[in-house]
Amino acid sequence: MTAPARILVVDDEASLRQMMDVLLRRMGHVVEQASGVREARERLDAATTPFDLVVTDLMMADGTGLEVLDHARAISTETQMLVVTAHGSVETAVDAMRRGAYCYLEKPLSVNEARAQVEKALEKRSLLKDNVSLRIITRGLTPEGGSGSLIGRSTAFQTAMEFVRRAAPNRASVLITGESGTGKELFARAIHTSSDRSSGPFVVVNCGAIPADLVESELFGHEKGSYTGASSKTLGMFRQADTGTLFLDEVGEIPLPLQVKLLRALQERKVRPVGGTMEIPVDTRIVAATNRDLAQMVKDKLFREDLYYRLNVLRLHLPPLRERREDLPALIEHFRSRFAAENGRAFVSFSPEALRLMLAHQWPGNVRELENAVERAVTLAQGARSSATTCRPSSSAPRASPARESCCCRPRGCSSRPRSRTSSAASSGRRSSAPRAYARTRRRTWG
């Protein structure tokens, strides 16, 4: 049972509107009705606080439910939306999802199904409400829709956001685990941004990218002349991150001999620069990340157990994208609008076919792979602006997309034209396979 919500029901058939109205009022909600797209827009505009939920028919005499979705979404991204239609098809369902619809209900309506979906959508709405304060803080540093925004809808994503909110005010170390490209660094930034250290620095050290013999001086600094080539004194990342957060990326790569020094720095909150005699106090919060199994590394004696426990005080695990597919529509739309805006092609959109393929793909490279794939597709669409209005990047999802299928994106508003077929590139499942496949097609199509 959810708390009373304000719901707008949009349908040009009075009987169906009435039926939904009765159902929702019985559930204890406050309902307004609109008999078409124009009236829906007026009611959305007139509302002093955004509706919690919009339930809209898809095909109406004066327009489509997708227009209602777009209008509601422009007013508030927290408003949930359910689309009802007698014209069920993959294309419209996918398009509705892309525009933020929570779910798709087919006519004739089953009362039980409608009730269940309304409850689910409202549960999601209340989760979003709880997270509003956190998003506002995050927005302060990363404009909505910008490259630092955290996007997602799945329960796993909501749980991670809840973790950020709880972990932020602490000083305790955080260990973020997850496959490559799941968003570990983005979440680390969110923890920093949401904390009272946000005015301090956020310093990133990629422990895997520094030569083993330089890691100590990178982390703790060095005195002038402390080793060959140390021509001047350096502060080191710990001290650079003083009053802020130090993000130790790929922490599993820290050489064993140095792990004891790192542990000491964490325990004592002091660092000793290479070649120095004094220990210098630092006030740095540590967020570490790894895509390796640190517990197994401890068992294999490749990682110190005491350091593992010291880093693992608070733990955030980010599941792979294939296990939180609910995040896909929002992420696809986020990257589409970002790259379309960056390329001055705001009208570029994905065809239903392209969306269907993207929603079915396993994304072994997670959000990074998706981001790259969308960027390439948007770039290809841009290249298509003169004669051909379609582009045909091959799919990298062999299981989900048979060889004869392909991805396509076209400027919104253009009708679909006959497209040349390209065979799907066999993918080895490596994370860069999609971008490569897209690039291959580009060469074939435009080069």
Of residues 276 through 295, those in contact with ligand ATP by CB under 6 A are 291
Residue 180 in contact with ligand ATP, rule: CB under 6 A: yes
Compute the least distance from the CB of residue 373 to Mg ion, in Å.
18
Q: Is 178 left (phi over 0), alpha (psi -120 to 50) or beta?
A: left
Looking at 98-106, 134-142, 182-190, 209-217, which segment touches ligand ATP (CB under 6 A)? 182-190
What is the distance between the alpha carbons of residues 5 and 95, in angstroms, rounded to a whole number? 26
Compute the least distance from the CB of residue 377 to ligand ATP, in Å.
16
What is the distance between the alpha carbons of residues 56 and 39, in angstroms, rounded to a whole number? 12
Residue 185 in contact with Mg ion, rule: CB under 5 A: yes
What is the distance between the alpha carbons of residues 387 and 385, in angstroms, rounded to a whole number? 6
The option from Mg ion, ligand ATP, none interacting with 33 (CB < 5 to 8 A, set by class) reads none
- By CB under 6 A, name the one of 64, 182, 390, 396 that touches ligand ATP: 182
Which contiguous run of DSSP H or E holds residue 53?
Answer: strand 53-57
- By CB under 6 A, name the one of 367, 373, 377, 434 that touches ligand ATP: 367
Compute the least distance from the CB of residue 264 to Mg ion, in Å.
26
Give yes or no for a contact between 102 and 82, defined as CB atoms under 8 angstroms apart. yes
User: Which amino acid, residue 403?
Assistant: A
What is the distance between the alpha carbons of residues 391 and 409, in angstroms, rounded to a whole number? 6
The option from Mg ion, ligand ATP, none interacting with 445 (CB < 5 to 8 A, set by class) reads none
What is the distance between the alpha carbons of residues 10 and 223, in angstroms, rounded to a whole number? 70
Alpha helices (H) along 291-327: 294-299, 305-311
Compute the least distance from the CB of residue 188 to Mg ion, in Å.
8
Structure-token pair, residue 199: 């005015």
Give yes or no for a contact between 191 and 287, defined as CB atoms under 8 angstroms apart. yes
Give whichever of 13 and 185 is closer to Mg ion, judged by the CB atom: 185
Closest residue to Mg ion, based on beta-carbon distance: 185
Give yes or no for a contact between 20 and 8, defined as CB atoms under 8 angstroms apart. no
- By CB under 6 A, name the one of 84, 85, 134, 183 that touches ligand ATP: 183
- What one-character DSSP code corresponds to residue 58? S
Q: Which residues pair with 178 in a beta bridge?
A: 318
The option from ligand ATP, Mg ion, none interacting with 135 (CB < 5 to 8 A, set by class) reads none
- By CB under 6 A, name the one of 98, 285, 324, 368 that touches ligand ATP: 368
Residue 178 in contact with ligand ATP, rule: CB under 6 A: yes
- State the residues that interact with ligand ATP by CB under 6 A: 147, 149-152, 178, 180-186, 291, 367-368, 371
- State the residues that interact with Mg ion by CB under 5 A: 185
